[in-house]
């Protein structure tokens, strides 16, 4: 699998903080209800903290009360890559940045949230960077 943005691990480590590296490159998970964007309602675009690709927008963000920023759809369907994840004894769908392959979170569906897709992209705040809308 080749991504548009690929770097050796040491470059990612130099570019990212240790906590960013742990989540983005080692598929870690930040603690629930601690991430900086969990309850953020600011209008804007959420980009990949590793490569800057635009991934989600505030329009699709909703309050899931699960402890992580939740979106019912990505900004563009091609912006993220979905990968089957059977780690930790669970069958889940991992969400990665389609441009650099960095780990963002997981997507769940059929949970009954009143959103247009009934999907919940459960994304680590630390994987994203919010660029607030101007004016
Ligand atoms: Zn990326």
Q: Return the CATH architecture of domain 9-31+43-132.
A: Beta Complex (2.170)
Closest C-alpha among 111, 117, 60, 106 to residue 80: 106
Res. 1 pLDDT band, cuts 50 70 90 = low
Residue 24 makes CB contacts below 8 A (sequence gap 6+) with: 12, 16, 49, 50, 102, 103, 104, 126, 127
Ligand 1 (ion): residues with CB under 5 Å are: 48, 50-51, 53, 97, 99-100, 102
Catalytic-residue membership of 122: yes
What's the sign of the alpha-carbon dihedral 74, 108, 129, 133?
positive
DSSP 9-37: HHHHHHHS-HHHHHHHTT---PPTTTSTT
Residue 135 has pLDDT above 80, yes or no: no
Q: How is the chain split into domains, by residue range?
A: 9-31+43-132
Beta bridge partners of 106: 94, 122
Res. 59 pLDDT band, cuts 50 70 90 = very high
End-to-end CA separation in angstroms for the chain: 40
Res. 134 pLDDT band, cuts 50 70 90 = confident
pTM of the complete model: 0.95
3: left (phi > 0), else alpha (psi -120 to 50), else beta?
Answer: beta
CA of 55 to the centre of ligand 1 (A): 8
Q: What is the pLDDT of residues 90-103, one digit of tens each?
A: 999 999 999 999 99
CA of 121 to the centre of ligand 1 (A): 16
CA of 45 to the centre of ligand 1 (A): 14
């Amino acid at each position: 699998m080749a991504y548009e943005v690929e770097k050796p691990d040491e470059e990612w480590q130099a570019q990212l903080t240790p906590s960013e590296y742990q989540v983005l490159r080692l598929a870690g998970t930040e603690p629930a209800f601690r991430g900086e964007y969990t309850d953020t309602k600011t209008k804007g675009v959420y980009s990949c903290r590793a490569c800057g690709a635009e991934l989600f927008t505030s329009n699709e963000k909703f309050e899931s009360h699960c402890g992580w920023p939740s979106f019912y759809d990505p900004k563009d369907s091609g912006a993220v890559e979905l990968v089957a994840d059977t780690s930790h004894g669970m069958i889940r769908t991992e969400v990665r940045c389609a441009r650099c392959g960095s780990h963002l979170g997981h997507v769940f569906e059929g949970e009954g949230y009143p959103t247009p897709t009934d999907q919940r992209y459960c994304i680590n705040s630390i994987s994203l960077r919010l660029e607030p809308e101007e004016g």
